[in-house]
Amino acid sequence: MKRIKTDVLVIGAGSGGLSVAAGAVQMGADVTLLEGHKMGGDCLNYGCVPSKALIATGKAAHGQTHAAQYGVANAPGTVDYAAAKDHVADVIAQIAPVDSVERFEGLGVRVIEEYGRFISETEVQAGDAVISARRIVIATGSSPFVPPISGLDQVPYETNETLFELREKPAHLLIVGGGPIGMEMAQAHIRMGCKVTVIEGATALGKDDPELAEIVLQSLRDEGVVIEEGAKVSEVRGKAGAIEVLAEDGRSFKGSHLLMAVGRKANTDKLDLEKAGIEPIRGGIKVDDALRTTNRKVYAIGDVAGGLQFTHVAGYHAGVIIRSMLFGLPSKAKTAHIPWATYTDPELSQVGLSEAQAKEQHGDKLEVVRFHYNHNDRAIAERKTKGLIKVMVVKGRPVGASIVGYQAGELINLWALALANNMKMSQIAAMVAPYPTIGEINKRAAGAYFSPRLFDSPMVKRVVGLVQRFLP
């Protein structure tokens, strides 16, 4: 048995673990990194990267079939499904070197390509090595959750971990789960020429602002996606190419392929947490505001920490714990400034409080300002006028923003900056945006907050009248 001593041991080479390893080693710490599967984790190999690559294929096909509005003849937009998957693989391959063993070893990280499991409060075994560390970071991420549905174990199905390797284009894709993953893949596949039915037990895109989510859902329906809500799955039966999904209320859905997209579960089963005195919770590992587990020498970050499950959250967590681990400084993770986006067309994004949450917390102090895309000149020129922004404002400061529309995932960045830095609406209004850009929507939203104060105020009009009378 080989014994290794290290300052920082990172378990898991997804986005969070890689960020910790790269940051810590470049600041002078001795770092050991464990990964028993693929470097880059879920995001690179099965999640963010391949899904956005496939969405790009669907967008290109859709653009061909809807070109006439720009004075260009419509084309069939025929997709070679296998070639589209080659495109996905190529995108992954281009990004993979940044997350590779070779790069991290080049930085000075000791990389061990094995899973790790705790054997004591300060020791982890990985293959034939026992690693003792001053600080340990659990960054093992999450995997697709597959519920125990009757008959599912007898029927072939896809998850996000297998979908991107599928070479045969589904004639009719059944998707169980109407969250972001389900809806993104539904639109990508309908645009690639598949029939698509989404089966959701509650409400599709139920975690987003309902007014804005409905704009997305109606867009998908208009493209041909069948969205069945309130359909709790009770049984799955059939065989490859002929699958049937039955709901508790008697509805039945038939298709050729099945994608399970009902959520994620934290990857903790290989860790032997109890041997390290680490308390698990439903959805992950119990952590405090500093992301420490019940073992003070061990941190948990990203999906496994049981909070928001986004790649950028894992990266943010990495920065929080590096401050604590390497410099001994107090550092706490917050969530109020964390944005997220769903990459449908139109996109859907959110940061801070939704309108409903803001009303509950702030009551009559809340003002909601709105601005629609159809008043933005660039959106008109691009024929992307479907959408709006809502900004929740309390005492002159934004507390949340919700956006649906073209480039909503880009527009939300400004509001994430504002919330992270406790900025005022006046600071947003002071920004000068180039014309014509989609980004003007953010400035116009700030303008919508001040317009009634300036243009509907009798006091302002009296002051202006007086000044005009006495100006030389």
Binding-site residue numbers are: 52, 116, 140-142, 177-184, 200, 263, 303
* C-alpha–C-alpha distance, residues 144 and 433, integer Å: 41
Tokens coding 69:
């509005």
Tokens of 196: 């698509």
Q: What is the 3-state secondary structure (H, E, C) of 67-114?
A: CHHHCCCCCCCCCCHHHHHHHHHHHHHHHHHHHCHHHHHHHCCEEECC
- Give me the helix-helix angle, 440-455 and 458-470, nearest 10°: 80
Distance between CA atoms of 20 and 414, rounded to whole angstroms?
Answer: 26
Do the Cβ atoms of 460 and 452 come closer than 8 Å? no
C-alpha to C-alpha distance for 41 and 50, rounded to whole angstroms: 12
What is the SS3 assignment for 324?
Answer: helix
Can you say which residues are annotated as belonging to the binding site for FAD? 52, 116, 140-142, 303
State the Cα–Cα distance between residues 86 and 167, nearest whole angstrom: 9
b vs e for 287-313, b when ≥16 Cβ sit within 10 Å of the residue's Cβ?
Answer: beeebbbebebbbbbbbbbbbebbbbb
Q: Which residue positions form the known binding site for NAD(+)?
A: 177-184, 200, 263
What is residue 207's DSSP assignment? T
Q: How far apart are CA 90 and CA 352, in angstroms?
A: 35
